[in-house]
Structure 1
Amino acid sequence: MRDLDETDLEILQLLVSDARRPYSDIADVVGLSAPAVSDRVARLQEMGVINRFTLDVDRSQLWGGIPVLITLDVSSTGSSVGSIKEQLLDDGAVEHVFTTAEADLVIYARVQDNDIAGWLTDTLDEGAFDDFEVKLLAGVDWSPNLGGTEFALTCAQCGNTVDSEGTSTRIDGELYQFCCPSCESRFTEKYNRLQQEAE
C-alpha cells in the first residue's frame, strides 16, 4: 500500500472547493496528467478517504424556514444516537447533525415555524430526547478546508497509524486498513469467528 502524499492532499483540496472540477484542470495545478489524477481519485475512493461527491446547496434560496441550531440532550432510555441521527437527516428541514463527546446532538435546521418542540416531537420517536436548547442563527457560512491535515489511516485491528508497510482488504463489501499483515490476519479471523457465532 503506497503512502498518501502532498499531491493527494492538494487534489482533495481542489475537489473540496469544486467537486465538478475537471481532472484536466486539477492535473494542470498538481503537475500530473489527467489519467494520473483520475487514478489517484479512484484510489482515494477505494481507501475510503473520499466517500462521495456532493453539492453545497444554499437552502435559504430554495426553502423558507427559520435557521436554528438545536442542541438535543439524547435520552439514555430512548432510541440510539444513530437512530435519532437517521430520523433527523431524513427530515427535509435538517442540513447537518453533529455528535458531541457527551453524546448530545447538535442540529442545524431550517424549521418552518417557531414550534421547535412540536417539530422535534413529530420528527423523532417518543422519548428520544430529554431536553433541548435552541439558538436562532443570523447566518451560516461553510468553508471546507484541508489546511493542516495529515493523512492518518488507522489500523482496524490495533488502532496504530497505517504507513507504507500497511495492507488493506475488503470484507463483505467494506474496506479495512491494517498496519501490518498480522493485524489483517487477526482481524479477519476474529471477523469470521464472530460471523460464524452469529449464524
Structure 2
Amino acid sequence: MRDLDETDLRIIELLAENARRSYSEIGDDVGLSGPAVSDRVQRLQDSGVLERFTVDVDRSQLRAGVPVFVRLAVEDGMEDLRDRVSAATAVEHLFVTADEELLFYGRAEANGVRGWLTDLVGDAVVIEREVTVVDDVEWTPALGGVEFALSCDECGNTVDSEGETERLGDDVYHFCCPSCRSRFVERYERMEEGA
C-alpha cells in the first residue's frame, strides 16, 4: 500500500466540491487521463478513504421548515437521545462533544419548534438547552494540510507505506505489519469455518 500523494488529495478536493464531476474533467485539472483518475478513485474507495458519493440538498428550496441549531447538555439518557435525534428525518447533522453535549442542525416546523424538540428529547434528562435559528449555512470541506492515516484493523496502530492490505469477502482490511495481517486472517478464517 502506498501513501496518498498530492494528486490523490486534489482528486478528493475536486470530488468534495462536485461529486458529479467527470473523471476526464478531473484528469484535466490533475494532469491524468480519465481512466487513470477512475483507477485512483477506485483505489481510494477500496482503501476506505472515499466511502460514498452523496447528494447535497438545499432544503431551503424545498420549504422544509425553519433551520435550527440545537445544543443539549444531558444528565442522563445520552445514548437513547442520540439514537432518536439521529433517526429524526428533520435532523441533518449530529455531533456529540467530549463533555457529553449533543449538538445538531435540523429543520423544525415554523410554529412548532418547542413541541418538536420536546418530542425529540423524550425522557432524556436535559439540564441545559439552547436553540438558535440559523440564518445561513455553508459547508466547505478543506483538505489542505491534512494527512490521511489508516488504522490497522488488528491493533489500531497507524498504517504507513510499509503496511499491508487484504481483501476478505467483500471488504478490504488494512494492517500495519505482516504479523497483524496473519493474526487477523487466521481469526477470520476460523470464524468462516465455524459459520
Question: TM-score, normalising length from structure 2?
Answer: 0.83
Counterpart position of 2:14 = 14
* 1:65-96 per-position Cα deviation (integer Å, ceiling 9, x unaligned): 211101133454464466335323xx1x2221
Matches within 5 A, 1:60-99: 60-74=60-74, 76-77=76-77, 79-80=79-80, 83-88=83-88, 91=89, 93-99=90-96
What is aligned with 2:135? 138
Query: Contact 1:157–1:178 at 8 Å: present in 2 too?
Result: yes
Amino acid at match of 1:14: L
Q: Which amino acid aligns with 1:61?
A: Q
Instruction: Give the alignment of 1:1-199 within 5 angstroms.
Output: 1-74=1-74, 76-77=76-77, 79-80=79-80, 83-88=83-88, 91=89, 93-123=90-120, 126-128=122-124, 130-131=126-127, 132-171=129-168, 173-189=170-186
Q: Which has the higher strand share?
A: 2
Q: Could you tell me the percent identity over the aligned residues?
A: 54
The answer to whether the 8 A contact 1:27-1:37 is kept is: yes
Q: 1:6 to 1:141 in 2, by over 3 A?
A: same
SS at structure 2 position matched to 1:68: strand
CA distance 1:78–1:142, change in 2 (3 Å): closer
Separation in 2, partners of 1:127, 1:65: 25
Q: Which runs of 5+ in 2 are unaligned?
A: none
The alpha-carbon distance between structure 1 residues 48 and 85, as it changes in their structure 2 partners (threshold 3 A), is farther
How many pairs align?
193
Q: 1:181 and 1:81, CA in 2 relative to 1: closer, same or farther beyond 3 A?
A: farther
Q: Unpaired runs of 5+ in structure 1?
A: none
> In the TM superposition, what is the alpha-carbon distance from 1:187 to its structure 2 partner?
3.5
